[in-house]
Amino acid sequence: MKSSHQIELTAGIFLLLAIGALIFLAVQATDRGVVAGGGYQVTAYFSNIGGLKPKARVSMGGVSIGMVESISLDPDTLEARVVMRISDQYDDLPEDSSASIFTAGILGDQFIGLEPGGSPEPLRDGDRILLTNSALQLEQLITRYMFDSEGDD
Amino acid sequence: MSEILASSPSITLKNVSISLGGRMVLDDFSLEIPAGQVTAVLGPSGAGKTTVMRLITGQLKPDSGEVWIDSERVDQMSARQLNRLRRNLGVLLQNGALFTDLTCFDNVALPIREHTALPEPLIRRLVLLKLQTVGLRGAADLYPRELSGGMNRRIAMARAMALDPAIMFYDEPFAGLDPISLGVARRLIRDINQALRTTSVVITHDVGEVAHFADYCCIISDGRAVAEGTPDSLSDSSNELVRQFVNGLPDGPVAFHYPARELADELLEQDLSR
Amino acid sequence: MSATSSPPGRLLNPLRQLGRAGLFLLTAFSRMRLTRFQAAETLRQIYFSGVRSLVIIVTGGFFVGLVLTLQTYDTLSRFGAAEAVSTVLALSLFRELGPVLTTLLFAGRAGTSITAEIGLMRATEQLDALDLMAIDPMERIVQPRLLAGIVAVPALVLIFNVCAILGGVVFAVFMMGSDPITFWSNMQATVELWRDFGHGMLKAVAFGFLASWLAVYFGWTARPTSEGVALATTQTVIATAISVLILDFVLSAFML
Ligand SMILES: Nc1ncnc2c1ncn2[C@@H]1O[C@H](COP(=O)(O)OP(=O)(O)OP(=O)(O)O)[C@@H](O)[C@H]1O
Ligand SMILES: [Mg+2]
């Protein structure tokens, strides 16, 4: 039987170990930075966003730089309004960058890819991306292809 | 007499009935335990002696009847009142019930630490004194499992008297004690009673012992108090039941067997059904 | 007696048990007094239920991580998506497997000994003795074990998850030769601190509470005999396993 001092000490070490595990997991295994409220917001309007969902990835050149924060329908233009949050470390993206909606693989999730423009002015918090390409919809492509080929017959 | 009553409480059970597990254990049971004396509660095994004690400590509530300690009615106490009452009770349970994860020292120290704010050195001295009176100061740092059954019982006795309670209950204090410890335990019960005028209730079925330490006796059988009086008056009693009990005869008013059907009937029935 | 054996009585029995367990919990918490003794005793119980479960949690976690990665790796490579293995590993661990498996192991290792300990205390009249010394056994025995479970299970879940992820690293990186940087960055890119990790830890707290509650309750209500204590230990494991799985579903449904 251990003395009560030893027991309390061991229990303390155990709890420290657990806190260490907590920090390790929080830092090493999860997506912090962008989610944690840092970064800046930009908006883009698309005529069709396909299956894009909030929290989707925003990338440039294949590298994740942020995520989709919210999606809503603009009541005037009836376009989809997508708000993105870009990580602070990418604060020098050209103002005239364009945004497109892509699909990761055939069945993968949809994400926004930014294509850099040539302007020396950087994108700032609250800016709007003017150049957008809507989602390519697989269903539409297939339907069009099928009806077209039917017409040919 | 009045002086004794003032310093130590008396116990009264009035027309108490209680059934446990569907069996009537005490039926219209009445008992007066005088203040400041050593009272022996005698009775055959299963007579309800422990049940009487559990009624007085408030662990059991009677189905009907009243339980009084002095002018306080125990059977109607709230949990908080019971808690206050029990600070003045010392109870030696039938099997000792020591805490197996504490040393003997800590077992005895537990009630003192819990209910007083004494500094640790003083507690240490108190505990060692209590252990000394039961002759087990040397076992202070051992765990109960490292001691024999009789030693466990003596430690439990030291724990029960740790706070110098106003009432002491001893449930079978002599079971499992060798003749020497038995003599010591007997003397101890008397000493505690003498020193503080502690009302002491000793539950036992050892009739021969009673005369050595008890001022007053009560014999329970079949859920009733069948005889009361001084040890001498009981041994001279002409009551058949008392005589059977005192002389240890298997046949008489006290049934040695747990209530059952005739043995022959039961055996016969088994044979038939086979 | 007759109420429990008649058919409607038998149907109502689990419900009555639940009610009794609820009342028990209520009493335990209504008499909560936070003293220094209480804190020290809780720490001691964290040792008994937490530290002593470490071995099974560490080995269990490591091998769960290993085999989970092995299976996922194999499945994902058929779709050419093997690099997603770290994401699948972390998500399934954080959200489900970590809390659920840890609680099941905890119930088997610590829950049973809590039940047996309290059941034996009941059987050997130690609880009665406390009562008779005007010491509340709820406060002294039950509460520290309840509190310790609420702390120890989340702590064990964290350690389980770390070990499982290390198991994943061992398989994917050292045995399959995946790129460690991709392994970690894929995980980081998808796993969200609050929605995946935080929710999983909320589950862990709830499970710890449930597991220690059931362990203490079955010990407290055990019949004071050897069979009674044995039965109570079994009941602890079964009741914890079933109710954790049910609660897991309910919580997952609410959190998503
Ligand atoms: N919890 C219980 N449930 C059912 N029956 C009980 C219970 N406790 C005691 N009894 C019954 O009550 C009777 C009296 O029990 P009690 O323990 O008071 O006897 P006792 O006089 O102390 O006997 P002993 O000298 O053997 O200790 C016994 O016949 C026992 O069967
Ligand atoms: Mg008895």
Tokens of C4: 């429990």
Find the angle CA(C24)-CA(C5)-CA(C112) to the nearest 5 degrees. Answer: 40
Q: How far apart are CA A84 and CA B66, in angstroms?
A: 78
- A92 shares its domain with A25: no
Q: Does B31 map to a domain?
A: yes
Q: Does C22 map to a domain?
A: no
Q: Does A124 map to a domain?
A: yes
Per-residue pLDDT in tens (0 to 9) along chain A, 153 residues: 567 889 999 999 999 999 999 999 988 887 654 444 578 899 999 988 888 887 788 888 888 788 888 899 999 999 999 999 888 888 888 989 999 988 876 666 788 999 998 888 898 888 999 888 887 776 677 777 777 765 454
What's the domain range around C145?
35-255
Q: How far apart are CA B241 and CA B73, in angstroms?
A: 32
What's the domain range around A1?
1-30
Neighbors of chain C with 3 or more C-beta pairs under 8 Å: A, B
pLDDT at residue B5, rounded to an integer? 34
Q: Does C245 map to a domain?
A: yes
Amino acid type, B234: L
CB B152 within 8 A of CB B36: no
- A17 shares its domain with A86: no
Looking at B3-7, B70-74, C22-26, which range is the least confident one?
A: B3-7
pLDDT digits (tens, 9 = 90+) for B169-181: 999 888 878 888 8
Check if B21 has its Cβ closer than 6 Å to any atom of ligand 1.
Answer: yes
pLDDT at residue C209, rounded to an integer? 96
Q: Does C18 map to a domain?
A: no
pLDDT at residue A1, rounded to an integer? 55
Say how many CA atoms lie within 13 Å of C87 toward its Cβ: 14
Q: Does B199 map to a domain?
A: yes
- A100 shares its domain with A49: yes
Tokens of A135: 């989602």
pLDDT at residue B212, rounded to an integer? 81
Q: Does C250 map to a domain?
A: yes
pLDDT at residue B177, rounded to an integer? 81
Q: Does A35 map to a domain?
A: no
Nearest to C197 among A15, A25, A64 (CB): A25
CA distance C135 to chain B (A): 7
Neighbors of chain B with 3 or more C-beta pairs under 8 Å: C
CA distance A86 to chain C (A): 14
Read off the pLDDT of each residue in B116-144 and give the average, rounded to a whole number.
93
Q: If you average pLDDT over every residue of chain B, what do you get?
A: 86
Nearest to C125 among B83, B93, B115 (CB): B93
Q: Which of A78-87, B134-143, C53-62 has the highest mean pLDDT?
A: C53-62
Residue owning the nearest CA to atom 2 of ligand 1? B20
Q: Is the dihedral of CA C153, C159, C161, C167 positive or negative?
A: negative
- A10 shares its domain with A55: no
Element (H, E) at A11: helix A4-28
Q: Does B225 map to a domain?
A: yes
- A51 shares its domain with A104: yes
Q: Does C81 map to a domain?
A: yes
Cβ-count burial B264-273 (b if 16+ within 10 Å, e if not): eeeeeeeeee
Measure B75 CA to ligand 1 centroid, in angstroms: 19
Check if B47 has its Cβ closer than 6 Å to any atom of ligand 1.
Answer: yes
Check if B25 has its Cβ closer than 6 Å to any atom of ligand 1.
Answer: yes
Check if B257 has its Cβ closer than 6 Å to any atom of ligand 1.
Answer: no
Q: How far apart are CA A50 and CA A52, in angstroms?
A: 6
Question: A130 CB near a chain C CB, below 8 Å?
Answer: no
Judged by phi (left if over 0) then psi (alpha if -120 to 50, else beta), residue A62 lies in left
CA distance A150 to chain C (A): 33
Question: A57 CB near a chain C CB, below 8 Å?
Answer: yes
pLDDT at residue B260, rounded to an integer? 74
Measured between beta carbons, which residues in chain C are less than 8 angstroms from residue B95? 124-125
Measure B204 CA to ligand 2 centroid, in angstroms: 8
A110-115 and A57-60 strand pairing: parallel
Residue owning the nearest CA to atom 25 of ligand 1? B45
pLDDT digits (tens, 9 = 90+) for C194-241: 889 999 999 999 999 999 999 999 999 999 999 999 999 999 999 999
Q: Does A135 map to a domain?
A: yes
- A87 shares its domain with A15: no
Query: Which whole-number Å values give the CA distances from C8 to B124, C2, C21, C235, in the listed order?
Result: 58, 11, 20, 22
Nearest to A30 among C47, C158, C188 (CB): C188
Q: Does B5 map to a domain?
A: no
pLDDT at residue B255, rounded to an integer? 65
pLDDT digits (tens, 9 = 90+) for B101-122: 899 999 999 999 999 999 999 9
Of C38, C43, A7, which Cα lies nearest the Cα of B114?
C38
Nearest to C132 among B89, B95, B115 (CB): B89
pLDDT digits (tens, 9 = 90+) for B32-65: 999 989 999 988 888 889 999 999 999 999 999 9
Read off the pLDDT of each residue in C12-38 and give the average, rounded to a whole number.
87
Place of tokens 């009585």: C9
Query: Which whole-number Å values give the CA distances from A91 to A99, A125, C180, in the listed order?
Result: 16, 9, 28
DSSP annotation of A47 reads S
Measured between beta carbons, which residues in chain B are less than 8 angstroms from residue C144? none
Of A91, A137, A133, A135, which Cα lies nearest the Cα of A115?
A133
Cβ of C193 and A8 within 8 Å? no
Cβ of C133 and B114 within 8 Å? yes
Q: How far apart are CA C75 and CA C92, in angstroms?
A: 15
The dihedrals phi and psi of A124, each to the nearest 5 degrees, come to -120, 170
Domain count, chain A: 2
CA distance C138 to chain A (A): 21
- pLDDT at B267 exceeding the cut of 60: yes
CATH of the domain at B247: 3.40.50.300
- A82 shares its domain with A22: no
Q: How far apart are CA C207 and CA C104, in angstroms?
A: 9
Cβ of B114 and C129 within 8 Å? no
Q: How far apart are CA A105 and CA A108, in angstroms?
A: 5
pLDDT digits (tens, 9 = 90+) for C150-196: 999 999 999 999 999 999 999 999 999 888 887 888 888 788 888 89
- pLDDT at B2 exceeding the cut of 50: no
Check if B44 has its Cβ closer than 6 Å to any atom of ligand 1.
Answer: no
Instruction: Lay out the sheet containing A98-103: strands in order across.
Output: A127-129, A40-46, A80-86, A63-73, A57-60, A110-115, A98-103, A131-133
Domain count, chain C: 1
Cβ of C126 and B59 within 8 Å? no
- pLDDT at B1 exceeding the cut of 50: no
Partnered with residue B227 across adjacent β-strands are B219
- A132 shares its domain with A76: yes
Judged by phi (left if over 0) then psi (alpha if -120 to 50, else beta), residue B142 lies in beta
CA B224 to chain centre: 17
Ligand approaching nearest to the C-alpha of B44? 1
Measure B176 CA to ligand 1 centroid, in angstroms: 20
pLDDT at residue C1, rounded to an integer? 43
CA distance A42 to chain C (A): 20
Per the model's pLDDT, the better-predicted residue between B249 and C182 turns out to be: C182
- pLDDT at C92 exceeding the cut of 80: yes
Find the angle CA(C238)-CA(C216)-CA(B141) to the nearest 5 degrees. Answer: 125
CB C160 within 8 A of CB C89: no
Domain count, chain B: 1
Amino acid type, A47: S
Measure B40 CA to ligand 1 centroid, in angstroms: 18
- A17 shares its domain with A70: no
What's the domain range around B245?
11-88+165-272
Place of tokens 């009770």: B89
Q: Does C1 map to a domain?
A: no
pLDDT at residue C206, rounded to an integer? 97
- A90 shares its domain with A23: no
Cβ of B57 and C132 within 8 Å? yes
Q: Does A151 map to a domain?
A: no
A131-133 and B216-221 strand pairing: unpaired
Q: Does C25 map to a domain?
A: no
What counts of helices (H) and strands (E) characterise chain B? 11, 10
Task: Identify from A19, A31, A53, A65 which residue to disrupt to test chain C contact, counting C C-beta atoms within 10 A and taking the largest count.
Answer: A31
Give the position, in ligand 1's atom list, of the atom nearest the Cα of B258: 29
Residue owning the nearest CA to atom 4 of ligand 1? B21
- A50 shares its domain with A16: no
pLDDT digits (tens, 9 = 90+) for B217-242: 888 887 888 888 888 887 777 677 77
Measured between beta carbons, which residues in chain B are less than 8 angstroms from residue C125? 93-95, 97
Tokens of A17: 């170990």
Q: Does B69 map to a domain?
A: yes
